[in-house]
Amino acid sequence: MNSLFTILSGIRFDNPFWLLLLPLAVGGSVAYRLFWRKNRPGVLFPSVSALRNAGFSAVSLFSKIPEWLHWMVVSLIVLALSGPRAPFPPSTRDTVGIDIMIALDVSASMNTPDFGGKSRFEGARDAAMRFIDNRPADRIGLVVFSGGSFTRCPLTIDHNVLERLAETLTPGFFDEPGTAIGTAILTATNRLRAASSREKVLLLITDGENNAGEVSPETAARMAANYGIRIYTVFAGKQAGMFESDKKPDLSQKGRRELETVSRISGGRMFTAGDLFGLMKSFRDIDRLEKSRLKGRMPGRTMELYPWLLMAAVLLLCTEQALSATRFIRIP
């Protein structure tokens, strides 16, 4: 109801002076009835009852239908001449897809089962799957990393293929120990920088700090920012939940600072997830942030209404002519 009110209240006319024809037409019709039609000569028909018996009678109210249709046709034509335009609020179908790479840590530490019986990796993969399902219009790809990184799936709109490839992953997927966050960011950046979309996003999920590779996360983040890539980082694991309390372990402080720096440099945001619920919430927040950003960037959309008004006028005119020549025929 609110959307309909927004559309109706926002209608604008390119040539509103044509609307003056409506009161002129009404005035002409009144003058016709008062001065010309009233004194018009006519012919008496000898047997009106015979016509009624033949089926030409009609209730007086219904007999006005052709006249009503006639005035509706005139009104629609005048409205079409005035060039009406209606605003339409953006919908999900209007949303242009963006390009997203997901960088998933597959190091051995991600096998730790501290997500309610699930490992960190399983929790991260499940949350990523749900995120993918909520973004049907986006091209999404997958990068996996531990001591090195490689592209498991390039950017694709075929999310079924992407999910099948993700399901085959396990911690320790390839034999390169360590966590090369900077290298993973560079690998995803190389995939995203050639993409045609104006909106490019990297989601990086890890449970540790950068301890492998030749490129620091900060340097890689600056390179990504140069290509307009926003990086959202998720620090996953039981230790991540401790950052929300007064007990902050020294072991992963460096990793947390690295992820905060990466997100800040690229214009993204960092999340911490100490359990499966926190992980799911992080992905929901990222999904909401990106959808809000796109909605805010969408230009206003208007639709010209005159073609629809003219089609309706033609349809009503045909109906009026058909009724006037048959059921509601007028015999002077």
What pLDDT, in 10s, does the model give residues 242-259? 444 444 444 457 888 889
Lowest mean pLDDT among 66-75, 228-237, 291-300: 291-300
Report pLDDT for 153.
Answer: 93
Query: What's the predicted TM-score (pTM) here?
Result: 0.60
d(Cα 119, Cα 125) in Å, to the nearest integer? 10
Give the type of residue at 256. Answer: R
| Annotated domain spans of the chain | 2-90+301-325, 94-297
d(Cα 185, Cα 166) in Å, to the nearest integer? 18
Instruction: Identify the architecture of domain 94-297 in CATH.
Output: 3-Layer(aba) Sandwich (3.40)
Please state the separation of Cα 243 from the chain's center in Å: 35
Lowest mean pLDDT among 69-78, 246-255, 265-274: 246-255
- Determine what percent of the chain is predicted with pLDDT higher than 70: 75
39-53: pLDDT as tens digits: 555 555 555 555 555
84-117: pLDDT as tens digits: 887 765 554 445 578 999 999 999 888 888 777 7
pLDDT (average), residues 234-240: 74
pLDDT (average), residues 137-161: 92
Give every CB contact of residue 224 below 8 A, 6+ residues apart in sequence.
185, 188, 189, 192, 202, 231, 266
Q: How far is CA 133 from CA 138, 158, 181, 204, 287, in A?
A: 10, 11, 26, 18, 11
Position with higher pLDDT, 86 vs 330? 86
Q: How far is CA 272 from CA 43, 164, 178, 235, 236, in A?
A: 92, 27, 21, 5, 6
Report pLDDT for 36.
Answer: 62
Give every CB contact of residue 97 below 8 A, 6+ residues apart in sequence.
135, 137, 138, 139, 157, 197
Lowest mean pLDDT among 163-172, 264-273, 285-294: 285-294
The average confidence (pLDDT) of the chain is: 79
Phi, psi of 53 (to 5 degrees): -65, -25
d(Cα 198, Cα 99) in Å, to the nearest integer? 8
Which tokens belong to 126? 């499940």
**Which SS3 state, helix, strand or coil, does residue 101 take?**
strand
